[in-house]
Structure 1
Amino acid sequence: MKKNLISVIILALVFANFVLTALLIFTVLPETKKANKMIDAVCSAIDLDVNSGAGSNQLSVPIDQTEEFKVNGGETMTMNLAQGSDGKSHYAVLSVTLLMNTKSDAYKKYGANSAEGLTAKESIIKNDINQVIRSYTIDDFNNDVTGVQDQILSDLQDMFGSDFIVGVNFSSVTTE
């Protein structure tokens, strides 16, 4: 009799487990699927935002296919920043280096060894860099140096109508 009673209890527990599992499947699983769809939608939106834009300051070409161009001969340039909330004038002292893709078709035209090279266009490049930097306050500049570099890169790519310039680097930056 004891064995039958234990068998009945085990059978009842197995049945209860089956009922609770079915309840779990039909109540929790649909909500989990909805949450997963929402998470997938958010992740795909973030991926699109991160990868969008032509002017991302990321080196997308191998390092052996790049060449540096030091703006202003590698010397520092002093540029005014936009007036901030404190009402004082601020400036940035920085050295700018452009990274060029040597395998790009535009490199043959504007590269370092050509007659129409970047050296001939250096005053235009400096002016563009100056205009971008002047649009930032000291706080905005210090908090988003990468954004400043991306903006300069985007402007230069638009100016030359090509993406042979693949990066903008500040080798030294001082703000006051």
Structure 2
Amino acid sequence: MKKNIFSILILAFVIVNLVLTTIMMFSIVPMAKKTNALITQICSVLDLELEANKSADGEENISIDQIATYDIADKFTVNLKKDGDGKDHFAVFSVTLSMDTKNEGYKTYGEKISEKESLIKSEINDVVSSFTLEEAQSDREALQEALKQRMIKMFDSDFIIKVAFRDIVFQ
């Protein structure tokens, strides 16, 4: 008789457990979905705030008083990559580096950037010489972006926010 009572009690507890689990699933899962939706909305708002500091082309909006420039005094004359027409082509230009003064990399490298000028010139020569005349003329932004990325890689910091050409001439 005792074995049957224990069997009945165990069966009753299993049924109660099943009922409570079912109730819990119907009451907690919808709340978890709502919480998940709320967290997703908060994350999307935070992403919007982060993106608000960027311009349409993906660059950060930095105030003008936060930008320092460094003009490389020498004019560059660089042989461009041959494009198959059998002629040698050159680019003659000057370069200005724009730097974010609030960036940690500026404190490390930017204030002493003139000490690294010969390395910077070498990198500029390497990048510009990898473009053909047609590529350099038609997509100057790509050339500037390639230079910027090389500077970021060279300094292992993104304190250089733009590389600009002054007086650029192709031949």
TM-score, structure 1 normalization: 0.62
Q: Report the alpha carbon displacement of residue 60 of structure 1 after superposing the two structures with TM.
A: 3.0
Q: Report the alpha carbon displacement of residue 95 of structure 1 after superposing the two structures with TM.
A: 0.7
CA gap 1:58/1:172 in 2 versus in 1, 3 angstroms: farther
The correspondence for 1:158, drawn from 131, 140, 153, is 153
Q: Report the alpha carbon displacement of residue 57 of structure 1 after superposing the two structures with TM.
A: 8.3
One-letter amino acid matched to 1:66: I
TM-score, structure 2 normalization: 0.64
- Name the structure, 1 or 2, with higher relative contact order (CA <8 Å, separation 6+): 1
Alignment match, 1:171: 166
CA gap 1:91/1:138 in 2 versus in 1, 3 angstroms: same
- Take 1:62 and 1:83, find their aligned partners in 2: how far apart are those partners? 40
Alignment match, 2:70: 69
Structure 1: unaligned runs, 5 residues or longer: 1-55
- Take 1:62 and 1:78, find their aligned partners in 2: how far apart are those partners? 33
Do the aligned residues in 2 keep the contact of 1:57 with 1:166 (CA within 8 Å)? no
- Take 1:130 and 1:59, find their aligned partners in 2: how far apart are those partners? 27
Structure 2: unaligned runs, 5 residues or longer: 1-56
Q: Report the alpha carbon displacement of residue 59 of structure 1 after superposing the two structures with TM.
A: 5.4
CA gap 1:57/1:83 in 2 versus in 1, 3 angstroms: farther
Q: Where has structure 1 moved over 2 Å in runs of 4 or more?
A: 56-60
- Take 1:91 and 1:57, find their aligned partners in 2: how far apart are those partners? 31
State the percentage of identical aligned residues: 37
The correspondence for 2:131, drawn from 131, 136, 143, is 136
CA gap 1:151/1:165 in 2 versus in 1, 3 angstroms: same
